[in-house]
Amino acid sequence: MSDAATPTTSSPSPTGPAIGQSTGDIIPPMCSVFRRFLKRTGLKFTPERAQILDAVSRKQHVFEAEQLLYEMRDAGLSVSKATIYRTLKHLLDAGIITEVLIDAKQAHYRLSYGQAPRGHLVCVETGKVIEIPSPWLTALRDKICHNNGFEPVSTRLVIYGISPEAQEQERARQGNP
Protein backbone atom coordinates (compact mmCIF):
# COMPACT_ATOMS: atom_id res chain seq x y z
CA MET A 1 0.00 0.00 0.00
CA SER A 2 1.39 3.41 -0.89
CA ASP A 3 1.80 6.17 1.69
CA ALA A 4 -0.95 8.21 0.03
CA ALA A 5 -3.46 5.40 0.60
CA THR A 6 -2.37 4.62 4.15
CA PRO A 7 -4.84 5.94 6.71
CA THR A 8 -3.41 8.19 9.37
CA THR A 9 -4.03 7.31 12.99
CA SER A 10 -3.55 8.75 16.42
CA SER A 11 -4.30 7.65 19.93
CA PRO A 12 -7.90 6.53 20.36
CA SER A 13 -10.39 9.16 21.37
CA PRO A 14 -13.81 8.64 22.93
CA THR A 15 -15.28 10.94 20.29
CA GLY A 16 -13.59 9.20 17.36
CA PRO A 17 -10.65 10.23 15.20
CA ALA A 18 -9.63 13.85 15.06
CA ILE A 19 -10.99 15.99 12.24
CA GLY A 20 -8.70 15.73 9.26
CA GLN A 21 -7.56 12.18 10.07
CA SER A 22 -8.67 9.31 7.87
CA THR A 23 -9.81 5.99 9.29
CA GLY A 24 -10.60 4.37 5.96
CA ASP A 25 -13.84 2.99 7.41
CA ILE A 26 -17.07 4.48 6.12
CA ILE A 27 -15.98 7.49 4.04
CA PRO A 28 -15.75 6.03 0.51
CA PRO A 29 -19.30 4.64 0.25
CA MET A 30 -20.78 7.57 2.18
CA CYS A 31 -18.86 9.98 -0.01
CA SER A 32 -20.23 8.25 -3.13
CA VAL A 33 -23.78 8.46 -1.82
CA PHE A 34 -23.35 12.16 -1.08
CA ARG A 35 -21.72 12.86 -4.47
CA ARG A 36 -24.58 11.11 -6.30
CA PHE A 37 -27.15 13.04 -4.25
CA LEU A 38 -25.48 16.37 -5.05
CA LYS A 39 -25.21 15.51 -8.74
CA ARG A 40 -28.92 14.57 -8.89
CA THR A 41 -29.82 17.91 -7.32
CA GLY A 42 -27.51 19.91 -9.61
CA LEU A 43 -24.97 20.76 -6.90
CA LYS A 44 -21.20 20.33 -6.80
CA PHE A 45 -19.11 18.32 -4.35
CA THR A 46 -16.91 21.16 -3.12
CA PRO A 47 -13.84 20.91 -0.88
CA GLU A 48 -15.85 22.55 1.93
CA ARG A 49 -18.64 19.98 1.61
CA ALA A 50 -16.02 17.22 1.61
CA GLN A 51 -14.51 18.59 4.84
CA ILE A 52 -17.93 18.80 6.49
CA LEU A 53 -18.81 15.25 5.39
CA ASP A 54 -15.47 14.07 6.79
CA ALA A 55 -16.08 15.82 10.13
CA VAL A 56 -19.65 14.47 10.37
CA SER A 57 -18.48 10.94 9.59
CA ARG A 58 -16.31 11.03 12.73
CA LYS A 59 -19.16 11.94 15.03
CA GLN A 60 -19.94 9.14 17.44
CA HIS A 61 -22.84 10.87 19.20
CA VAL A 62 -25.51 13.51 18.74
CA PHE A 63 -24.09 16.89 17.70
CA GLU A 64 -25.17 20.44 16.92
CA ALA A 65 -24.22 22.54 13.90
CA GLU A 66 -22.45 25.14 16.07
CA GLN A 67 -20.40 22.42 17.77
CA LEU A 68 -19.35 21.08 14.36
CA LEU A 69 -18.42 24.60 13.22
CA TYR A 70 -16.21 25.24 16.28
CA GLU A 71 -14.52 21.84 16.03
CA MET A 72 -13.72 22.36 12.36
CA ARG A 73 -12.36 25.85 13.00
CA ASP A 74 -10.31 24.54 15.95
CA ALA A 75 -8.84 21.97 13.55
CA GLY A 76 -7.69 24.84 11.30
CA LEU A 77 -10.35 24.41 8.62
CA SER A 78 -11.94 27.50 7.10
CA VAL A 79 -15.67 26.97 6.84
CA SER A 80 -18.59 29.37 7.19
CA LYS A 81 -21.63 28.90 9.39
CA ALA A 82 -23.90 29.16 6.33
CA THR A 83 -21.97 26.40 4.54
CA ILE A 84 -22.26 24.16 7.60
CA TYR A 85 -26.04 24.64 7.80
CA ARG A 86 -26.60 24.20 4.04
CA THR A 87 -24.43 21.08 3.94
CA LEU A 88 -26.17 19.57 6.97
CA LYS A 89 -29.48 20.08 5.15
CA HIS A 90 -28.07 18.25 2.10
CA LEU A 91 -26.75 15.44 4.33
CA LEU A 92 -30.21 15.13 5.87
CA ASP A 93 -31.84 15.00 2.44
CA ALA A 94 -29.29 12.41 1.28
CA GLY A 95 -30.09 10.17 4.26
CA ILE A 96 -26.58 10.36 5.71
CA ILE A 97 -27.59 12.07 8.94
CA THR A 98 -30.88 12.30 10.82
CA GLU A 99 -32.24 15.02 13.00
CA VAL A 100 -32.66 14.04 16.64
CA LEU A 101 -35.62 15.75 18.26
CA ILE A 102 -34.23 16.78 21.62
CA ASP A 103 -35.70 20.23 22.07
CA ALA A 104 -37.38 22.97 20.07
CA LYS A 105 -34.53 25.45 20.57
CA GLN A 106 -31.65 23.81 18.73
CA ALA A 107 -31.39 21.22 15.94
CA HIS A 108 -29.38 18.13 16.84
CA TYR A 109 -28.05 15.58 14.38
CA ARG A 110 -26.48 12.15 14.34
CA LEU A 111 -24.77 10.07 11.70
CA SER A 112 -27.25 7.46 10.50
CA TYR A 113 -25.71 6.15 7.27
CA GLY A 114 -24.50 2.61 7.84
CA GLN A 115 -25.61 2.75 11.48
CA ALA A 116 -28.19 0.69 13.34
CA PRO A 117 -31.17 2.67 14.60
CA ARG A 118 -30.61 4.19 18.03
CA GLY A 119 -32.89 5.85 20.49
CA HIS A 120 -32.17 8.73 22.82
CA LEU A 121 -33.10 9.38 26.44
CA VAL A 122 -33.32 13.14 27.07
CA CYS A 123 -33.51 14.88 30.44
CA VAL A 124 -36.02 17.71 30.10
CA GLU A 125 -34.40 19.60 33.00
CA THR A 126 -30.69 19.45 32.12
CA GLY A 127 -30.68 18.58 28.41
CA LYS A 128 -28.48 15.54 29.09
CA VAL A 129 -28.74 13.02 26.25
CA ILE A 130 -28.06 9.31 26.62
CA GLU A 131 -27.89 7.19 23.51
CA ILE A 132 -29.93 4.00 23.74
CA PRO A 133 -28.52 1.08 21.76
CA SER A 134 -31.60 -0.66 20.45
CA PRO A 135 -30.93 -3.78 18.39
CA TRP A 136 -34.62 -4.68 18.73
CA LEU A 137 -35.71 -1.37 17.21
CA THR A 138 -35.12 -2.49 13.61
CA ALA A 139 -37.17 -5.66 14.10
CA LEU A 140 -39.99 -3.72 15.74
CA ARG A 141 -39.94 -1.08 12.98
CA ASP A 142 -40.01 -3.76 10.27
CA LYS A 143 -42.88 -5.66 11.94
CA ILE A 144 -45.01 -2.53 12.39
CA CYS A 145 -44.36 -1.44 8.79
CA HIS A 146 -45.06 -4.93 7.41
CA ASN A 147 -48.33 -5.22 9.36
CA ASN A 148 -49.49 -1.91 7.89
CA GLY A 149 -48.12 -2.31 4.35
CA PHE A 150 -45.46 0.36 4.77
CA GLU A 151 -41.89 0.38 3.47
CA PRO A 152 -39.62 1.54 6.32
CA VAL A 153 -37.57 4.64 5.58
CA SER A 154 -36.20 5.72 8.95
CA THR A 155 -36.64 5.22 12.67
CA ARG A 156 -36.64 7.71 15.54
CA LEU A 157 -37.08 7.01 19.23
CA VAL A 158 -36.73 9.77 21.80
CA ILE A 159 -37.79 9.27 25.40
CA TYR A 160 -38.08 12.37 27.58
CA GLY A 161 -37.70 12.20 31.34
CA ILE A 162 -35.96 13.69 34.36
CA SER A 163 -32.46 12.38 35.10
CA PRO A 164 -31.40 11.23 38.57
CA GLU A 165 -29.09 14.26 38.78
CA ALA A 166 -31.94 16.67 38.03
CA GLN A 167 -34.18 14.91 40.55
CA GLU A 168 -31.47 15.22 43.19
CA GLN A 169 -30.97 18.90 42.40
CA GLU A 170 -34.72 19.51 42.75
CA ARG A 171 -34.84 17.68 46.10
CA ALA A 172 -31.85 19.70 47.34
CA ARG A 173 -33.49 22.94 46.17
CA GLN A 174 -36.65 22.08 48.07
CA GLY A 175 -34.68 21.03 51.15
CA ASN A 176 -35.69 17.36 50.89
CA PRO A 177 -32.64 15.07 51.00
Q: Quickly count: other Cβ atoms within 10 Å of residue 34's Cβ.
A: 25
| 122/125 Cα distance (integer angstroms) | 9
Q: Please give the average per-residue pLDDT across 31-48, as a whole number.
A: 93
- The ranges assigned to domains in the chain are 1-115, 116-177
pLDDT band at residue 17 using 50, 70 and 90 as cut-offs: very low
pLDDT reading at 114 higher than 90: no
Element housing 5 (H / E): none
CATH number listed for the domain at residues 116-177: 3.30.1490.190
Q: Is the pLDDT of residue 76 over 90?
A: yes
Say whether pLDDT at 22 is over 80.
no
Average model confidence (pLDDT) for the chain? Answer: 80
Exposed (0-12), middle (13-18) or buried (19+): which is 37, by Cβ within 10 Å?
Answer: middle
CATH match for 1-115 among 3.40.50.170, 1.10.10.10, 3.40.50.2300, 1.10.540.10? 1.10.10.10
Pick the more confident residue, 104 or 172.
172
